[in-house]
Structure 1
Amino acid sequence: MTTSRIGESGPTAAEPRQWRDRKRYLWLLGLVAPTALFVATALVRAFNWFGWQAVSPVWWWIGPILVYVLLPTLDLFFGPDGQNPPDEVMEQLENDPYYRYCTYAYIPFQLISLVFACYLWTAPDLSWLGIDGGLGVISKIGLALSIGAVGGVGINTAHELGHKKDQLERWLSKITLAQTGYGHFYIEHNRGHHVRVATPEDPASARFGENFWMFLPRSVWGSLRSSWELEKTRLGRMGKSPWTIHNDILNAWLMTLVLWGVLTAIFGPAILPYLLVQAVYGFSLLETVNYLEHYGLLRQRTASGRYERCTPEHSWNSDHIVTNIFLYHLQRHSDHHANPTRRYQILRSMDGAPNLPSGYASMIGLAYFPPLWRRVMDRRVLEHYDGDITRVNIQPAQRERVLAKYGAR
């Protein structure tokens, strides 16, 4: 098995024929999230059949269990990946349709899971599952969070598809975002975040001293406002009003309206609170990942007053193989910002990129607890900048306190 990291000498001409993507069939594990509800249903049925009704409802919480327990544990066990595709196979790997189909397959399973969840939320008789009557409120909330996890990971699938030039993939991206009502992400991420990343102007780049609970509303509202301004400007150049079906935010939100409307018509308005819970939880998972991807990192201004070009040092990376597979190499974030249209299977670990102590899945849970997050990450930010706090993207409200604590050179 030949491996090659950026910055190392490449393989010989004979080596590309010997090189194999050892993760080729592991990418199918990306379908674990959208099929988890069916696994949970089978486990509930089995536990009830064995007479373990007291513990069977825990499986309706399979989404949070997967995100906060299983993935971090597997990341610890299996560790980093370490394999980069050599230059000579990049084009062949990029054009292999198999990898595209792996992401396409996510979407039907996501939608089927959502429909099945609506049935479970409203079914008055679940005797076939060994349940007397329907689900209790606690089980329904767990189910909503589990479906929200599917939608949250689905936003990452939409992220992969939305960066591509193919119109079909861009529309599939919007369809995937419909469940969580986060269609504006398609605009803001591509045309906003990738332009302003690691600057104070970017709502999706977390600042040093800003905890996740402060970042979440700033990023949600800031991204929404920014996406509308970007689309309004684009349509204005064409002489069109933003209030048109050609507005990519409005037509993406229309997909949500149609999806939720059809589900409500079929299953009744009782599903609406749970649809709202799953949507909020789903996009909050995305925002947690946004929080950790650029925390404290700052592009410096050049002599002209413009920000320097985005480089590998402006994104937090992780090469832990399990979450890499689960999130389609999202953790190789520096290469993604350097090459936004590059498909996930050829993203590489880059020299000079700062690395998190574990996979993104492990860091999501940590971000919820600001004292723990600061203890783990603040020193890493300072080490990344050789102790120079003035080179850090600092939360304005915390600036004086941070400078007093860490000292400015």
Structure 2
Amino acid sequence: MKDLKYLMSYSIAVTAFIGILAGGPFVYLTLIYTFVFIPILESNTKEYLNEYSDDEKKSRNLDPFFDFLLYLNIPIVYGIFFVSLNTLLNTDSAYEIIGIILSASIVMATNGINVGHELGHRKSLFSRTCSKLLYLPCQYMHFFIEHNYGHHINVATPDDPATAKYKQNLYSFWISSVIKTYLSAWRIQLKLLRVSKQSFISLKNDMIFYTLFQISFLIFIYLNYGLIITIYSVLMSVVSFLFLETINYVEHYGLLRKIKSNGKYERVKPHHSWNSNHTIGRITLYELTRHSDHHFKSSKKYQILESIEDSPQLPYGYPTSILISFFPPLWFRIMNPLVEQHMNYSN
């Protein structure tokens, strides 16, 4: 019964459905819930470490309940996406349009890209296909390649687009990460083609298919909803992947791996990612906040991720940390001393 707590992962989507359908000021319900209610609730909720025995891990790994929770996000994300487009089609108020776009975008990031990220680490073709389906409305399918074949290898190094540099503000990071992530995905794809001795025009060139799928998706929206709604859908996509990049910013800010005597980077360890045990953010984001353990063993499913003792800890949960990151001076004041403590930058 205690695992029913993960049903809370749908709570952001529920607020979006209610807010978008109710209209008026309610279109901002998702923002208030995510960045006001959850932070307040987290600050008054005890943190749990959730350590599992080997038998418990085996049992949880095989329990289909946890996978079902992930797959259910596909109709939820697409449902909210198209409900938003239909509502925008009949909405003239600027403040309502902004609220709908922001609400839908948050769901596309938390229940879309975030869940796609979890499924993208699975080995089955079905899971990986579902992962890409969740990236599609966000126009971020290339993330599948860069994240799995780039980020997890280069994390906490200058070669990783998703690792924010020490004293780099969020807005600078958005630009560098979005551009470099896309370019990195192409470099990785071309390398994979060379290794497998495939030509650029090949069924093995996933980046071409991702591009075609995303363009086709936009054409479908244009033919059914018109130009203005297509522009709104693009804005929803942009906000959703900027939300993802903000999470990346929080997860890896300022942390670097050391270079060994042979010129190679040390292996990825738990102290190369920021961890958070704040309960509400954990269960709402399918344990994404246990990011240190995720990078240490990326094959672990979300339901068995644990808190590792020597991992650097965020002082606040993800929703609060994301909110703080929008204000660079405040972010630097809170986080720079913690980075210096872990990385000895002060010396």
Fold conserved between structures, TM > 0.5: yes
Per the alignment, residue 189 of structure 2 pairs with 231
> In the alignment, is the contact (CA less than 8 A) between 1:35 and 1:109 conserved in 2?
no
Q: Secondary structure at the match of 1:25?
A: helix
Could you tell me which of 89, 103, 106 is aligned with 1:122? 89
> In the alignment, is the contact (CA less than 8 A) between 1:115 and 1:263 conserved in 2?
no
Give the 3 Å change call, closer, same or farther, for CA 247–64 of structure 1 in structure 2: farther
* CA deviation profile, 1:107-139 (whole Å, cap 9, x unmatched): 10110111111111112xxxxxxxxxx441220
Pairing 1:141–2:98 present: yes
Structure 2 residue identity aligned to 1:142: G
Give the 3 Å change call, closer, same or farther, for CA 63–247 of structure 1 in structure 2: farther
Could you tell me which of 26, 29, 35 is aligned with 2:5? 26
* CA deviation profile, 1:206-255 (whole Å, cap 9, x unmatched): 11111111111111111111110001110122222334443222323333
Per the alignment, residue 300 of structure 1 pairs with 258
Could you tell me which of 50, 54, 57 is aligned with 1:83? 50
Per the alignment, residue 35 of structure 1 pairs with 14
* CA deviation profile, 1:263-309 (whole Å, cap 9, x unmatched): 22222222022112111110011101111111111111111111111
Q: Structure 1 unaligned runs (5+)?
A: 1-20, 45-56, 124-133, 390-405
1:136-215 correspondence runs (5 A) = 136-153=93-110, 154-215=112-173
Pairing 1:59–2:26 present: yes
Structure of greater Rg: 1
Task: Give the percent of matched residue pairs that are identical in Structure 1 and Structure 2.
Answer: 34
Q: CA deviation at 1:315?
A: 0.7
Stretch of structure 1 that moved more, 245-254 or 333-342: 245-254
Pairing 1:218–2:176 present: yes
In the aligned structure 2, how far is the partner of 1:90 from the partner of 1:114? Answer: 35
> In the alignment, is the contact (CA less than 8 A) between 2:20 and 2:100 conserved in 1?
no
> In the alignment, is the contact (CA less than 8 A) between 1:175 and 1:252 conserved in 2?
no
Per the alignment, residue 276 of structure 2 pairs with 318
Per the alignment, residue 262 of structure 1 pairs with 220
Q: Secondary structure at the match of 1:288?
A: helix
Stretch of structure 1 that moved more, 212-221 or 66-75: 66-75
In the aligned structure 1, how far is the partner of 2:212 from the partner of 2:11? Answer: 28
Structure 1 residue identity aligned to 2:277: D
Q: CA deviation at 1:260?
A: 2.6
In the aligned structure 1, how far is the partner of 2:108 from the partner of 2:20? Answer: 18
Per the alignment, residue 325 of structure 2 pairs with 367
* CA deviation profile, 1:24-54 (whole Å, cap 9, x unmatched): 111122122333332214644xxxxxxxxxx
Per the alignment, residue 12 of structure 1 pairs with none
In the aligned structure 1, how far is the partner of 2:6 from the partner of 2:279? Answer: 11
Q: Structure 2 unaligned runs (5+)?
A: none
Per the alignment, residue 310 of structure 2 pairs with 352
**How many aligned positions are there?**
346
Q: CA deviation at 1:327?
A: 0.8
> In the alignment, is the contact (CA less than 8 A) between 1:231 and 1:242 conserved in 2?
no
